[in-house]
Structure 1
């Protein structure tokens, strides 16, 4: 207590306030000492009793009353509560000032510590966290070192960290606090808005001797609510502060991740939990640059629980891949995104897609550029150039069933990032301005979760602007203009899938990094698809000739998969292998959907 600026009087007040809660005998004694003409008094000490027991007389009693008012130092830091005497209350009157009749009560935080309960009060979660792990490598080592120097100063301090991404500022603060060998209390600015909640946070910070790290809109926190905190770091907007000549106030600029990354922090945490992350998988995970620090621990804990659930004597039971991380991340960091988009499973099995060699090369170049995007912007200096987009956008154009969606799954799998298909039915609204709000929410949530966005049937959203003939045309054009600008500002990877490339607005051409054409599969590609479409568990009868099927039935990959599924279902129902008859019936169904009479020649060898 003395280190925090309190004296013997404050220590005595705290002891008297806690005594009735620690020992019922003392509660009875306090009630007797505060008894009046109407019977026993309150079980907690009044300000008058405290003044008597501390020997305060004359002007000293008024000083004691002022120090024990709701605005006094002990109440301001949330260690005690001053409860007015009910008999002195007048309905409709404003709160009264210091009164010797008021009662001094120990706060919940103080009593928890007195009884040895050092765990953070669960009622404060999730606005207050004490479980966030510091990365081994900060985004900006220089800023972390400068902040560490401030934290080691004996004087009260408040440091504001300015960064393009809040997660970079938070990670830098966590590293500096960890190196100062003090605990960190990460608090949302929302928890400091009301006086009562700000006092609860102040008590937790004081009792732990913790450094307060504030996230969110710190500039909206009332200036007086910063006074109880000796050491604070703001990872967001710089707050409005009261005049305090004894407090060191400064601002530090934080650069984003360069050689380190938020994903690299996750890899470190996974390995400390005994999980195995191969170097190739670690490289993929290091592409997560926006992973919130507060979610790293939750991701690692979930992955560790999964590993424990399947654990056996083999080391592979504790192996973690980027696909494992993306599947877990959907429920941890993708919550906001799932409101308007659907997660898709990713894959790295390129053998399952049949594409022309030139298109495979283009897709590989797309993956390589997306993988190097961060280093090109930061280390190679492209991010400093005016007008340089920070994201990558590609159009996958081709007929239905040509492999566009599966190619997007493969791109996401190779990059080790989650893939979400934007649900246009939920995004597009008939109400003016709501479509733009939904689109902005999609892009913002995707940036925060490092997700790849897939806009299927993109021509319906990115269509050409029309001549303005009425208000509907004008608002439709405004939506497209907004989408163009938001796409240019997007920092992630976006894929636009379309069957009608010519229907896209021409202004998108300049904003595209790649335009990949998926042709209708030729006979050679169709043969590859027929061979790859069958899972290992399916056995084909000897009368099935896949090469002749490819030659005689000009179907896209999507249609071939439908035929294979139908044939497998028929074979299982009949209790035998997939034969030519099952495939013939599957072809009948698919041609019927297309409205074309099937050519039955060549199904059997």
Structure 2
């Protein structure tokens, strides 16, 4: 504070010179200067003197002294000069600001203003008094508008005009505490913006496009830009880096929270004022499209650049000012790996390559730094260097939580060793995982899917009878990639009301865009069915749902798996757009034997009469049914306190047959038929 106060006090000396002259002039026309009750009432003599002399301006405003000023923290010669430049203030604006500021710096001015207002209770400068102290008549229209809406002093809340019910000239002028504190050298932010605004520093290597955007801000004097970010991109990081290129810090504004406030327009003005005071730029978002128009109107005031960002296209109706529109692409795999290494320098385990361990996670630079911090904490808690598991665990913490309200989240606990499938099916599943790992290289670097507005996602279809391993395979693929699995039952998404199904699906896809996970659409045939000839309104709307989903799947940037028991019911247009189709067969005898062994595991006590070969030969069950029967047998054995034997397993199979509506035939159960009932 001490570095800026002397310069400001020298500026206020001009106000004191004007006040001294005004006091002397006031005394010359005062009919009773020794009245001890002056300012509390209006005498006849005082009224006659006012009628005789009028209310002309005081002496002309003193000239600026030539004494050099110290450099202030906000740039320029001192903070007042820097503020005048940033806010576009005229010399008259600066003079009015100094008059209003004086009581906040020197308490004597309260008494001075009370005397000049001829009212001891009005201890701040009024509009009329401020104009007269600046050597201007009270009726000067060109001067009065400097304290009205549309002028920077008022629009940026550098001066607060109080008492709106009073006549214009007797309205008091007040400098908000944040402005006076800034001019005195303090840097504490506006308290009302706590939780809404956060200063953000530029970190590390700038994202692609930062230099070009910075040049636009500098050369073209761009005041408003809209950064449309793709999934996995960070418009915030781009905006911060671009502002750093033009020598500005960044104020990151949480737009949804700001828009939800009942004082959103006022807070938007305070955001702009904070940027003007500190010489910063505003990076605000994400834009939802339903923000009050007053927010954009307030953000258009002042000279601070405003960089808004969001995932949707800019609507010209949002703001009267046309923005510079910039597409923000995600970081390349090489750039993401560089951020991982830069953040985790010296803490990685030997031989760990962040690029390969996290290739399937599409994250922006800020998210990578947060994920790396979490990974380092997890590793430190275990007393280990950061390895692949820590990297993936940290990356998963950056998933948005909104999808969990629409889908069931599953943390994978199975691996490739747990699958009992033919080699050709396993090869397709490995190919699906590889597509997720290397899609950046193939689709972005090698440009193998140009044009058409298609996304960079990977979509697969798992078709097969119930219990053949579709869901478990999706969980294994997710686990091998270090991702979570989110299951959506499309049967619960379908709504009988027109348009509601599409809305439900759009909410899921929108939330999934912010998640690095595998999205499993169960019972996909509920909505991916064949489009039919339109014979009535029901057919037309059913076809609209299918057409919408066709288009939305093409633009999806994530990893999606569709599971169905009825592949024949799917529209051919869907299968053409799928990357991989996996048909899960009913297990043969050899596979069933392996499934019985795997489902019982090595912890369940086994009876001496156990004959898993008989079970595999006799009962044509899918893997899901075998698992269910094994669990039931374990409960039966635990209930009688003995190992799992054939009695328990046959009884469990009999229960499974009844669930499936199948008959228990002697040809299948043989000598164990009695145990099945």
Give the TM-score normalised by structure 1. 0.79
After superposition, where does 1:196-207 map in structure 2 within 5 Å?
196-207=266-277
Change (3 A) 1:502 1:426: closer
User: Residue in 2 aligned with 1:106?
Assistant: 175
Counterpart-to-counterpart distance in 1, 2:321 and 2:386: 59
Query: Which one of 255, 265, 271 corresponds to residue 344 of structure 2?
Result: 271
How big is the shift at 1:20? 5.8
Asked if the contact 1:66–1:72 (Cα under 8 Å) also holds between the matched residues in 2, the reply is: yes
Asked if the contact 2:491–2:526 (Cα under 8 Å) also holds between the matched residues in 1, the reply is: no
How big is the shift at 1:446? 1.9
Residue 563 (structure 1) aligned with residue 629 (structure 2): yes
Residue 147 (structure 1) aligned with residue 221 (structure 2): no
Secondary structure at 2:223 match in 1: strand
User: Residue in 1 aligned with 2:188?
Assistant: 118
Change (3 A) 1:15 1:278: farther
Residue 47 (structure 1) aligned with residue 127 (structure 2): yes
How big is the shift at 1:103? 2.2
Query: Which one of 464, 470, 493 corresponds to residue 559 of structure 2?
Result: 493
How big is the shift at 1:213? 2.4
Counterpart-to-counterpart distance in 2, 1:551 and 1:58: 107
User: Residue in 2 aligned with 1:158?
Assistant: 223
Residue 208 (structure 1) aligned with residue 278 (structure 2): yes
Asked if the contact 1:452–1:494 (Cα under 8 Å) also holds between the matched residues in 2, the reply is: yes
User: Residue in 2 aligned with 1:440?
Assistant: 506
Counterpart-to-counterpart distance in 2, 1:387 and 1:149: 29
Name the stretch that deviates more: 5-14 or 559-568.
Answer: 5-14
Asked if the contact 1:33–1:49 (Cα under 8 Å) also holds between the matched residues in 2, the reply is: no
Secondary structure at 2:170 match in 1: coil
User: Residue in 1 aligned with 2:669?
Assistant: 599
Secondary structure at 1:562 match in 2: helix
Q: How many residues align?
A: 573
Residue 288 (structure 1) aligned with residue 361 (structure 2): yes
Counterpart-to-counterpart distance in 2, 1:257 and 1:17: 50
Counterpart-to-counterpart distance in 1, 2:431 and 2:342: 31
User: Residue in 1 aligned with 2:307?
Assistant: 233
Counterpart-to-counterpart distance in 2, 1:434 and 1:564: 41
RMSD: 4.3
Asked if the contact 1:394–1:496 (Cα under 8 Å) also holds between the matched residues in 2, the reply is: yes
How big is the shift at 1:407? 0.8
Name the stretch that deviates more: 507-516 or 564-573.
Answer: 564-573
Structure number with larger C-alpha Rg: 2
How big is the shift at 1:350? 0.6
User: Residue in 2 aligned with 1:71?
Assistant: 150
Change (3 A) 1:225 1:152: closer
Counterpart-to-counterpart distance in 2, 1:107 and 1:277: 57
Name the stretch that deviates more: 400-409 or 484-493.
Answer: 484-493
Name the stretch that deviates more: 386-395 or 411-420.
Answer: 386-395
User: Residue in 1 aligned with 2:569?
Assistant: 503
Counterpart-to-counterpart distance in 1, 2:364 and 2:401: 11
Change (3 A) 1:118 1:413: farther
Asked if the contact 2:297–2:319 (Cα under 8 Å) also holds between the matched residues in 1, the reply is: yes
Change (3 A) 1:295 1:10: farther
Asked if the contact 1:133–1:293 (Cα under 8 Å) also holds between the matched residues in 2, the reply is: no
Change (3 A) 1:115 1:276: farther
Secondary structure at 1:86 match in 2: coil
How big is the shift at 1:424? 2.3
Secondary structure at 2:586 match in 1: coil
Change (3 A) 1:318 1:112: farther
Asked if the contact 2:489–2:523 (Cα under 8 Å) also holds between the matched residues in 1, the reply is: no
User: Residue in 1 aligned with 2:50?
Assistant: none
Change (3 A) 1:104 1:197: same
Query: Which one of 544, 558, 570 corresponds to residue 478 of structure 1?
Result: 544
How big is the shift at 1:189? 6.5
After superposition, where does 1:310-329 map in structure 2 within 5 Å?
311-315=381-385, 320-323=390-393, 325-326=395-396, 328-329=397-398
How big is the shift at 1:56? 3.0
User: Residue in 1 aligned with 2:159?
Assistant: 80
Asked if the contact 1:346–1:410 (Cα under 8 Å) also holds between the matched residues in 2, the reply is: yes
Asked if the contact 1:468–1:474 (Cα under 8 Å) also holds between the matched residues in 2, the reply is: yes
Change (3 A) 1:152 1:389: closer
Asked if the contact 1:465–1:480 (Cα under 8 Å) also holds between the matched residues in 2, the reply is: yes
Secondary structure at 1:483 match in 2: helix
User: Residue in 2 aligned with 1:411?
Assistant: 477
Asked if the contact 2:525–2:569 (Cα under 8 Å) also holds between the matched residues in 1, the reply is: yes
Secondary structure at 1:507 match in 2: helix
Q: Deviations over 1:45-71 (max 9, x none)?
A: 42344445x543338976554333343
Asked if the contact 2:461–2:578 (Cα under 8 Å) also holds between the matched residues in 1, the reply is: yes
Structure 1 unaligned spans of 5+: 89-98
Name the stretch that deviates more: 532-541 or 475-484.
Answer: 532-541
Change (3 A) 1:120 1:384: farther
Secondary structure at 1:370 match in 2: helix
Change (3 A) 1:354 1:443: same
Secondary structure at 1:401 match in 2: coil
Q: Deviations over 1:55-112 (max 9, x none)?
A: 4333897655433334322332233322244334xxxxxxxxxx33222233364367
Secondary structure at 2:465 match in 1: coil
Structure 2 unaligned spans of 5+: 1-78
Counterpart-to-counterpart distance in 2, 1:243 and 1:591: 69
Change (3 A) 1:241 1:440: closer
Change (3 A) 1:223 1:589: same
User: Residue in 2 aligned with 1:93?
Assistant: none
User: Residue in 2 aligned with 1:57?
Assistant: 136
Counterpart-to-counterpart distance in 2, 1:565 and 1:34: 92
Asked if the contact 1:521–1:557 (Cα under 8 Å) also holds between the matched residues in 2, the reply is: yes
Counterpart-to-counterpart distance in 2, 1:318 and 1:452: 19
Asked if the contact 2:280–2:304 (Cα under 8 Å) also holds between the matched residues in 1, the reply is: no
Asked if the contact 2:330–2:364 (Cα under 8 Å) also holds between the matched residues in 1, the reply is: no
User: Residue in 2 aligned with 1:92?
Assistant: none
Asked if the contact 2:199–2:251 (Cα under 8 Å) also holds between the matched residues in 1, the reply is: yes
How big is the shift at 1:356? 0.4
Change (3 A) 1:589 1:48: same
Counterpart-to-counterpart distance in 2, 1:400 and 1:474: 31
Q: Deviations over 1:535-565 (max 9, x none)?
A: 6655545554545543443322212222333
User: Residue in 2 aligned with 1:525?
Assistant: 591
